[in-house]
Amino acid sequence: MGLFDPCLGSSTTVPNFFLASGGSLLPLAAPAPSVPSPLDSGIQPSPGDDVTAPNSVSASRLNRIVCVSAAKVGYSSAAKDSILPSSLEYDATVGEGSGPGVFTLALRIVLEYESSFPQEGMVVWVKKHQQVVSDESTSQLVLVETAFEDYADGRWTPITTDIRYSEEAEAVVQAVITTDSGQTAGRVQTEGAVEDAKLGPVGERGRIVLHYFCEQLYSYAEMGLGSSAASRSLVPISFQLPWAALDNPASHCSLRTTVHAPRGTRQLHPQENILAYRDLQLSLASSQTAEARSQGVVLPEARETPECEFYRESLPPLPMMVLAWLSIPDETDDWEHVDQVAPSASRVTLMRPCTADEELLRASLPGGMAGHLVRCKVEASSGRRPDTIRVHTDITISDASGSTGMRAKGNETVTVRSLFNQHEERRVLTRLEAIPKLRSAGLLLDGDLWRQHFIVFHHEVKHEVHIQTAIRDLDDVTVEQLLKAISGDTVAVNALVQMNKQALLQDWSKFLETLRAVGPGGTTSFVAGAQGAQKSYERAKAGEFFSAQPNFEYTTYVNFDTDGGNNCGPCYDACRQLVEQADVVQGHVLGVGSWVDQDCASKVAKILKGVASLALTFPENVAADLLFRQDLSRWIKVLRTTPVRLSVSAGAVTWRARHGERSENGADCLFAAGDGLSFDPPDVSEADYTKAVLRGLKAGESATLYLLSRHPVQDLVWRLAVEVGGQRATVSIGTETLSGVVLGHHWLEAFGRVAKEGLAVNTSSLSSRLKHRLEDDLSFAWNIPSISGSTAALGRTKTKQRPPVTKEKQPDEPTLASLLPARTASGGFRCSPGGLFGAPAPAAFQSFGGGLLSSPPAAAAVGGFGGGFGGGCRFGASMASAAMPFAGRGQGDKKASAAAAAPAAPPPSGCFGSSAPSQGVSAPLSRRRRPPANDALSFGEPQANESGPSGPSALLAVSGFMRWGYPESPQEAAVRSIGALRTLAQLAMSVTAAAPVKEDTMVTTLLGQGPSGLSGTQPATHIGYTCDVSNVDPIVGVRFKATSTVNFDITEDCRRAGSYGGASGFRPIKEAGEAMRWALAAALAWWPLLWKDPVPAGPAQGLENVSTEGLSHAIFNLPQVVSVA
């Protein structure tokens, strides 16, 4: 489904998309707006045309945070196991980056783990995949800081970290864990594409806090839904939440997502952009996997400040993400002023950090010398030498595809193409009018040439028209009369004839007549436009007006005008070639219409070193005036530029070695940041030091140099010699724009990465040994683990005396292995109608699967999945055996049979405190075969990526979209778990357990709390549940349920001994009511994901105060149909 559906104008509901409002989730729905398109004029899209909604984004481009990890746990006494977090928190800050439309991300992820045995020491070992932020990006989430927390005596104790070499960090952690030191320690290091963390010993709970930084999120230009072309950028960022079946104790996990953004940020309006949200949903669901089709999205509740937050106390029962689709205003204060005096000399500003940061940027160099890392900004002079000749070309690449034949509403004679013609003519004449003023300001000289070159394209070059004018011919009077004559003023025509400028008038008149006659053509190829412009420029440069003389300077400004069309990947390569071969300094993309590919337009604009202005219709009045003014400002900036060569040195410094004094460079230039920069071999004209030589810089532009100085900054300012175009630049001290950990990470990443776009490396100065030396110094000073893995973050502090955890009892190393999920189909189920809370209990509830309705009444009491009671369940056993939540198998004994045969009382009205449902447990419940166990618990056990960080889609695929628990589809999990909950409720209500007997307080005083953790009472008896390992019946005390598989329970003795029967990830359940509360809390929090019925009101007193009978009653009243994609 594309943008232009027959249903436009009707109400549109986006499946699986929800608006958070307080504690509720509201389906995303709104009237679909009427969007003008070429289809209105009978123009059909060609294959590849972008007919998605304005402002839409594909799933592959979405900034998507996916936390995929695996964890193991060990205890002082109890056996080791796998473990899942009890809380997950994302805290994100989106900031402005290095240029227009560039945005950064600072992200904090908190993983909290709860101990099953809080009286013992617990050690957690976690491994987590590194990732890039989107499938079409190379921008990585880089770990920049780590901390730990230990919950002791009712409060969290923070544990800060220091950098150590990895081997030392591991040794210290082991010493703390294995001795009765009263301390807690943790360490984090990176190994390839995996982050490795270990924490212990902790008591009740422990946290691992990971801080990340990403230098560039995916962003694209926002399209105004009217004629406004105000420049805003869209940054779509999502946070994948783990999900688990309702009956899985792993679902008892709190989730929090918070997003902070720059001032002026708002969320992309869900109702106004309902079609964009719909297209994202279609893109998310386009995968053939059940998880992708079920992927839900929640839009967090916005606040008055540019911040949004979402919180839940339970995991969703289906795949779910939190989406913040941010609309951020672009900076618009970079105006060029013709009257502004151009700097007579190039300027260099040493960017001095604050005192604290400056100390951290020191490095130890051979000879005992101190090195100082400092950045400096070079602003190349745009002053003109009088002996130079500037050849400036304005290239307009103009789209004349068939879609530009779309007619304007209300005026059938006006097409998009004719509006482009008018817009482009006005743009050219505006520049013509500016020429005399630029000439008087000295930006253009009489000997210069100004060329206008139009490439009009569709699937090939359709028209090519150009005009070339000498600046000496465009004085004030001539331009004034020329503009009047072009508009039809006969007096001005005669004046030009008298001035002997009739040839100039004829050239311009012919040029504009050709432009005005351009009409729409066929299909579109940006490649044709970009390649046509490049080839035409190269031909012109080789012609009679372009002499390859040293005093010639070439600059080009590109306008790319389009209404969308059939664009393809090679167009980016074609645009890059144009920039490289046609002396392009800057450009701008104007996109008008609903078929504009916003992603493509944004990428082309960045290649052209400019921005994109996008709107549904042509800007008018104030919006049009602003657009022309901004374009003229960028154009003037280009006229200030000229190519220059740059050299950097700071003389020589000496130090004494065994053989005597030796000299070193006073400063080395290690890196240079800027477009098209590269280092030449060093300048060796001086005998005792070398100069770094940089090419690719243009006068009027700036670059950032990364220096290793052997002088402090206050001395370097007097010694640094930067020559730009043969002229020495003035050097001063300014303030470093980055600070704190962001500055440290910025330097560390420069040393830690093999290659980075826009960053030139001076390999003649930065050898591999020096690189590693500086990387280690920065890692230790800034307390950031090195990217190479040579260092680790180590933290420890005094917390509480806990039993040590011996090496043998510590967790095994987690593995990030591949997982092949099993897939089966499940049917639906039925239950009696009525509200969840307060409606009458069902007389009998029916399960799902074949053969159920023909079963005897007693057999209809227990639900499972797969076949009916007469046949095998999914794993070849009866339906009843596969249904129990938080429970062991049903019993084939006298207790279960008697319970099933017992008559039931009539169901009274009301929800909580009512009698049990009328049907008992089926007779008898047989043993079933166990499903294959998933021993190494993780978020789906992903396949480790040895080659580097993984993309979001790869992480989602191998983790079942961050599924916690047994590998089953969302549909299977939903249907099975609800049937299992009904079994749990039936067991809880069908058997009257003996009341707990109070333990004598003196016994508790003398012997301490019992192993079940139920001080002061007898341990709970879990009637109807048998240990799946020891066959103890019933389970007494705390029941441990596996999260790795369905329906697997063991006693506390088996859990402590490590007798797991192949299952893993066991969580303690004190009594049946606790399990039902967890499940109902998740069902109420995520109700719209499973049911279309209205969300029922929860109990006024809260679930914690509802009796077992009331909880069972509520479970029986869950709606009968699950609405899962």
If we measure between CA atoms, which residue out of 612, 704, 590 comes closest to residue 100? 612
**Average pLDDT, integer, range 216-225:** 88
pLDDT value for 578:
94
Peptide bond into 1034 cis (omega under 30): yes
DSSP structure string for 761-783: E-TTT--HHHHHHHHHHHHHHHT
pLDDT value for 219:
93
Tokens of 553: 């300077």
pLDDT value for 750:
85
Tokens of 603: 């990428």
pLDDT value for 140:
87
Q: 473 near 504, Cβ under 8 Å?
A: yes
Q: 394 near 451, Cβ under 8 Å?
A: yes
Q: Report in angstroms the alpha-carbon separations of 1009 from 122, 204, 739, 935, 1037.
A: 19, 16, 52, 31, 12
Q: What is the DSSP letter of 840?
A: P
Beta strands of 447-551 (E only): which ranges?
449-457, 461-470
pLDDT value for 231:
79
Q: Report in angstroms the alpha-carbon separations of 101 from 557, 623, 624, 1007.
A: 20, 20, 21, 66
Helix (H), strand (E) counts: the chain: 23, 51
DSSP structure string for 444-460: S-TT-EEEEEEEEESSS
Tokens of 67: 């936390």
Strands 552-562 and 584-592: parallel
**Average pLDDT, integer, range 532-550:** 77
Q: 1028 near 1048, Cβ under 8 Å?
A: yes
pLDDT value for 622:
66
Classify 1032 as helix, strand or coil.
coil
Distance CA 903, CA 361 (A): 80
Read off the pLDDT of residues 26-52 as tens digits, 9 standing for 90 and up: 999 999 888 877 887 778 877 667 788
Distance CA 643, CA 554 (A): 8
Q: Is the pLDDT of residue 14 over 60?
A: yes
pLDDT value for 111:
98
Strands 194-202 and 63-65: unpaired
Read off the pLDDT of residues 606-656 as tens digits, 9 standing for 90 and up: 899 888 888 888 877 667 777 888 888 889 888 877 777 899 999 999 988
Residue with the bigger pLDDT between 919 and 448: it is 448
Distance CA 925, CA 894 (A): 11
If we measure between CA atoms, which residue out of 728, 726, 675 comes closest to residue 704? 675
**Average pLDDT, integer, range 760-789:** 88
Q: Is the pLDDT of residue 570 over 90?
A: no
Distance CA 779, CA 890 (A): 57
**Average pLDDT, integer, range 1098-1108:** 80
pLDDT value for 492:
93
Q: Sheet of 301-302: strands edge to edge?
A: 155-159, 142-152, 205-214, 103-114, 87-96, 254-260, 307-312, 301-302
pLDDT value for 376:
94
Read off the pLDDT of residues 16-27 as tens digits, 9 standing for 90 and up: 999 999 889 999
If we measure between CA atoms, which residue out of 167, 184, 193, 39 comes closest to residue 124? 184
pLDDT value for 754:
53
Residue partners of 649: CB distance under 8 A and separation at least 6: 665, 666, 667, 683, 686, 689, 690, 691, 692, 720, 721
What is the band of 275 on the pLDDT scale with cuts at 50, 70, 90? very high
What is the band of 1005 on the pLDDT scale with cuts at 50, 70, 90? low
Distance CA 754, CA 766 (A): 12
Read off the pLDDT of residues 836-880 as tens digits, 9 standing for 90 and up: 434 333 333 333 333 222 233 333 333 333 333 233 332 233 333
pLDDT value for 1009:
55
pLDDT value for 875:
28
Residue partners of 572: CB distance under 8 A and separation at least 6: 603, 604, 607
Distance CA 147, CA 143 (A): 11
Residue with the bigger pLDDT between 345 and 113: it is 113
Residue partners of 968: CB distance under 8 A and separation at least 6: 245, 821, 822, 824, 976, 1046
Cβ density class 977-991: b for 16+ within 10 Å, e for less: bbbbbbbbbbbbbbb
* Number of other CB atoms surrounding residue 175 within 10 Å: 13
Tokens of 724: 């730009």
DSSP H stretches of helix in 1028-1069: 1052-1057
What is the band of 716 on the pLDDT scale with cuts at 50, 70, 90? very high
Three-class HEC string of 209-251: EEEEEECCCCCEECEECCCCCCCEEEEEEEEEECECCCCCHHH
Q: Is the pLDDT of residue 981 over 60?
A: yes
pLDDT value for 696:
81
Distance CA 186, CA 789 (A): 16
Distance CA 676, CA 670 (A): 16
Q: Is the pLDDT of residue 546 over 90?
A: no
Q: Is the pLDDT of residue 734 over 90?
A: yes
Q: Is the pLDDT of residue 1112 over 80?
A: yes
Q: 328 near 235, Cβ under 8 Å?
A: yes
pLDDT value for 553:
82
**Average pLDDT, integer, range 867-896:** 34
Q: What is the DSSP letter of 130?
A: -
Q: Report in angstroms the alpha-carbon separations of 1034 from 130, 401, 1028.
A: 45, 77, 11
Q: 250 near 114, Cβ under 8 Å?
A: no
Terminal C-alpha separation, the chain: 17
What percent of the chain shows pLDDT beyond 90?
A: 46
pLDDT value for 344:
58
- CB-count exposure of residue 1024 (10 Å: 0-12, 13-18, 19+): buried
Read off the pLDDT of residues 778-830 as tens digits, 9 standing for 90 and up: 989 988 888 777 888 999 999 999 999 999 999 999 988 553 433 333 333 33
Q: Is the pLDDT of residue 1047 over 80?
A: yes
- Residue located via tokens 């980016």: 572
Read off the pLDDT of residues 56-92 as tens digits, 9 standing for 90 and up: 999 999 999 999 999 999 999 999 999 999 999 999 9
What percent of the chain shows pLDDT beyond 70?
A: 80
Residue 517 dihedral angles phi and psi, to the nearest 5°? -90, 0
Distance CA 100, CA 854 (A): 68
Residue with the bigger pLDDT between 15 and 997: it is 15
pLDDT value for 402:
84
Distance CA 751, CA 334 (A): 31
Q: Is the pLDDT of residue 389 over 70?
A: yes
What is the band of 191 on the pLDDT scale with cuts at 50, 70, 90? confident
Q: 569 near 540, Cβ under 8 Å?
A: no
Q: 333 near 290, Cβ under 8 Å?
A: no
Strands 702-709 and 369-379: antiparallel
Mean pLDDT computed over every residue of the chain: 81
pLDDT value for 569:
64
**Average pLDDT, integer, range 121-148:** 91
Distance CA 505, CA 487 (A): 11
pLDDT value for 1008:
57
Distance CA 539, CA 547 (A): 12
If we measure between CA atoms, which residue out of 567, 519, 562 comes closest to residue 405? 519
What is the band of 547 on the pLDDT scale with cuts at 50, 70, 90? low
Distance CA 314, CA 76 (A): 29
Residue partners of 573: CB distance under 8 A and separation at least 6: none
pLDDT value for 1004:
53
